[in-house]
Structure 1
Amino acid sequence: MDRIMTETPVFPRDQAVPRFVAETVLFVFLAHALAFFLHEYSHAVTAWLLGFKADPLALHYGHADIVNILLQREIDENVAYGPIYAAHRDGAAALIALSGMALGNGALYVLCFWCIRRVRPRDMNRPAVRFLFWLALMGAANLWSYAPIRTITTHGDMAEMARGLHMSPWLLLPFVTLPSILAMYSFFFRLVVPNWAWLFAGGPARPVFAAAMTGLLYFGFFGAAGLFGSYGDVCALLSIVSLFVLFPLSVVFCLLATGMGVIGFGQGHGQDGGAPV
């Protein structure tokens, strides 16, 4: 069984809460930008490797305004799918569409999960592990924003993948949603539960703020993606469920995670693999 960190009290006296909040906001913006560019460059590099893009670094970057800099709202992979279909390379189009989700998000989450589960607390300072935590969230939550949230639609990555594979988005839905659900389970039960108390120790304000941010980002910011961009009624309905049902439930889950971690719930590897941090 994993060794749970008990040296630090779960809720010691609040210390430097404003600094913790500032750190969290900074980490969230940095992690979002890193995950976003990994997603878009995964599309671009795959298209380049397949011969459908001249420059893998030539994204569409948009305007240099504060919103675009912080949230990358106008940036995309700048891949033209029309010529790919015209060349009867539908499978290549599907692969390019899949690469953002699979490499930019899925592989990112797996890497962050592996790092957090393998390091020992004494080997890395807490802020470094917290950054990996937020980066892992970006990877897993991005998966959620595509599958199931924005799969049943007529445009976007999942629509291009369905078109390239010559299959209905409804048929594609279970195949792309399964890894998203597995990532969600892994994130909340294998990362949040055993590591929450140590990651956000320092007073009651820290785990409460972190829980609100975790739920807001995962099921609010990413989960509400189907409400914007004219993705259709099914996507909007899924986003409403994510925002108004799963968001509050996830906050409560995170607040309960400290107790679950103390009793050993959600542990998945032995001491030889490294204690949770």
Structure 2
Amino acid sequence: MTPRALKIALFTVLSIILSYYVAVLMHEYAHATTAYLFGYKSSPFDIKYGSWYLVPVSEAVDYASILASGHGVHEALIGISGITVTLILFLTSLFLLSRKCIQERSFLLSFFFWLADINLMEMFSYLNRTFIMGDIGEFIQGFNISPFFIFIPGTIIVCWALYRFYKYEIIKMFQTLPVRTIFMRRIFCGLPFGLCLYLLFIGKRQLIGKYFPILPIQFHYLLFFL
């Protein structure tokens, strides 16, 4: 392995770790900040951090009490704020990846690539939760609407995001970084898939039985774009 390839490998590991913390914390802080603005928290940083690797992390918002108090709209907005910030982080990363000043700096290029990927996979994993529980469930319950009002546009957005990421962003990385062999390219493409599985299952084992009816649809998405 050449010195430059070794440096890129190190940048990749550091970028994945850093982008993971940024993506997860910004998502949870979005929930907490919205709850703070509505008066349900004393601090926007008051979340459950879990372990050092943020599992199980939680916004620590009592949605049941908010709904019981007759503030369903507040519940919905607090619930949807996390995935909204996730989408913003993904789009921001795409924009920055297109900038020459970022492309000329290997670490920044690697960081925003993995930040885009982790946020994309988080968006991807939310499709199954539309029918189950979690943030999307709070939004649906707060507004008392059908989950298909989220699932249909959400599926369109995620399909576009997957197409954009796998069609353009990975190719840009191949052209910029020393990812030359077929073996290394398969590893590079496989890492986002591995992160998808991580975000689908980590911390949600109690729901795994409910996930299987929807997982085949998601795997078809990935196989199509790969």
Q: How does the TM-score come out when normalised to structure 1? A: 0.71
Distance 2:221 2:177 in 1: 22
Q: Does 1:69 align with 2:46?
A: no
What's the offset of the Cα at 1:145? 0.9
Distance 1:175 1:100 in 2: 17
1:224/1:242 contact within 8 Å kept: no
Runs (5+) with no aligned partner, structure 2 = none
1:149/1:225 contact within 8 Å kept: no
Amino acid at match of 1:156: G
C-alpha distance 231-51 of structure 1, shift in aligned 2 (>3 A): farther
Correspondence for 2:122 among 110, 118, 142: 142
Matched residues, number: 224
* Mapping for residues 103-142 of structure 1, pairs under 5 Å: 103=85, 105-120=86-101, 124-142=104-122
Distance 1:43 1:227 in 2: 19
1:152/1:159 contact within 8 Å kept: yes
What's the offset of the Cα at 1:84? 1.3
Q: Does 1:21 align with 2:9?
A: yes
What's the offset of the Cα at 1:20? 3.7
Amino acid at match of 1:81: Y
Larger Rg: 1
Amino acid at match of 1:55: S
For residues 149-190 of structure 1, the C-alpha deviation after alignment (integer angstroms, 9 at most, x for no partner) is 22111x311111110010232443213333222322222234
Structure with more relative contact order (C-alpha pairs < 8 Å, separation 6 or more)? 1
For residues 87-140 of structure 1, the C-alpha deviation after alignment (integer angstroms, 9 at most, x for no partner) is 21101111110000011x10001111111112257x632232011100111111
SS at match of 2:212: helix
Q: Does 1:197 align with 2:174?
A: yes
Q: How does the TM-score come out when normalised to structure 2? A: 0.86
Distance 2:224 2:30 in 1: 32
Q: Does 1:90 align with 2:97?
A: no
SS at match of 1:77: coil
Percent of matched pairs sharing the same residue = 23
Amino acid at match of 2:140: A
Q: Does 1:80 align with 2:57?
A: no
For residues 39-63 of structure 1, the C-alpha deviation after alignment (integer angstroms, 9 at most, x for no partner) is 000000011112221211111123x
Aligned to 1:177: 155
Distance 1:196 1:211 in 2: 11
Distance 1:152 1:242 in 2: 14
What's the offset of the Cα at 1:206? 3.9
Amino acid at match of 1:60: K
Aligned to 2:212: 236
